[in-house]
Amino acid sequence: MEEILKTLPQHTCSWLKHKIIMYKYQDFWTSKQLLEGTLMAQQSFKAEPSDVFLCSAPKTGTTWLKALAFAIVTRENFDESTSPLLKKLVHECVPFLERQVEEIEHNRESSSLPLVATHLPYASLPESVIASNCRMVYIYRNIKDVIVSNYHFLREAFKLSMEDAPFEETFEDFYNGNSSYGPYWDHILGYRKASLDMPDKILFLKYEDLKSEPISNVKRLAEFIGYPFSNDEEKAGVIENIINMCSFENLSSLEVNKTRKPKGGMLENRLYYRKGQDGDWKNYFTNEMKEKIDKIMDEKLSGTGLILK
């Protein structure tokens, strides 16, 4: 591993007091630990046609998407009072490809759970994933809120105050493309291009749309991954029950998400639940920052039909 790292470009996050070193592998930035998991997944993971991949860049609604998909897929066995989501971290219910390959295999054998999560760019997915013809769901979000969410997540993970970790510096990192699994626009573009080529294979969900129109978008999600709601379920309020159970307000209030750490993890569960709001960026961005990031996103996403403002 060390020999591989020596050949890769490096970036040290100065705003985190040099506590993170990122390496550029296959045109995206990642840590040493996640690179090891990525290489293992690329070399050994065998996707199944029945798999459903939940894909995202960090801090774009990953936890919420995983909770909703898990509740949809397991609703025949659990309801809003018995779901494992009430006692386990969402990331334990739906494991990450580049972190928890063994858990994915265990889920297949023990429960036939088809869900797999990943932050990997489309071009860096294991070849078996592309070849398997499995379905993928990609969630994306306004980059300005992503930057703010990422800032607080990492700052609190490394126990730094806002004075010790200037927001201006994390903004510049993002603007220059130096973010985990980034550049963010390249991450979006990879999946967007693939979704246009294979619209029946990749569903694009916008975080803000999921917030403003949850019922219609949860129905879309359920239909796409092969677990549509019946008319009786709709009449019985099953969709609303799932939305309420997976809401930020509910999940963040659970004891498991206030105090516990995931198995083998270093970060407290509470770090995955900060605000869950749109527009928090307005409390951090100067007009100059807004203009800079809007301009680069307009340039990068031109012609895609995507709007991230």
Picking from 63, 57, 55, the residue whose alpha carbon sits closest to that of residue 273 is: 63
Instruction: Calculate Rg over the CA atoms of the chain.
Output: 19
Establish whether 119 is a catalytic residue.
yes
Cite the DSSP H helix spans in the chain. Answer: 2-6, 32-44, 62-73, 90-93, 101-111, 127-132, 143-157, 167-175, 184-197, 207-212, 214-224, 231-235, 238-245, 248-253, 256-259, 287-300
Torsion of CA 217, 80, 67, 59, to 10 degrees: 90
99 contacts 263 by C-beta, under 8 angstroms: no
Residue 200 class from Cβ within 10 Å (0-12 exposed, 13-18 middle, 19+ buried)?
A: exposed
CA-CA distance, 266 to 269, in Å (whole number)?
9
Which residue positions form the known binding site for 3'-phosphoadenylyl sulfate?
A: 59-64, 141, 149, 207, 274-276
Report CA 249 to chain centroid distance, whole Å: 19
Residues sharing a CB contact under 8 Å with residue 288, sequence separation 6 or more, in sequence order: none
Structure tokens at 15: 């705003």
Which residue positions form the known binding site?
A: 59-64, 141, 149, 207, 274-276
**Residue among 91, 119, 152, 187 flagged as catalytic:** 119
CA-CA distance, 36 to 292, in Å (whole number)?
34
Give the dihedral sign, CA 203/138/26/97.
negative
Catalytic positions are: 119
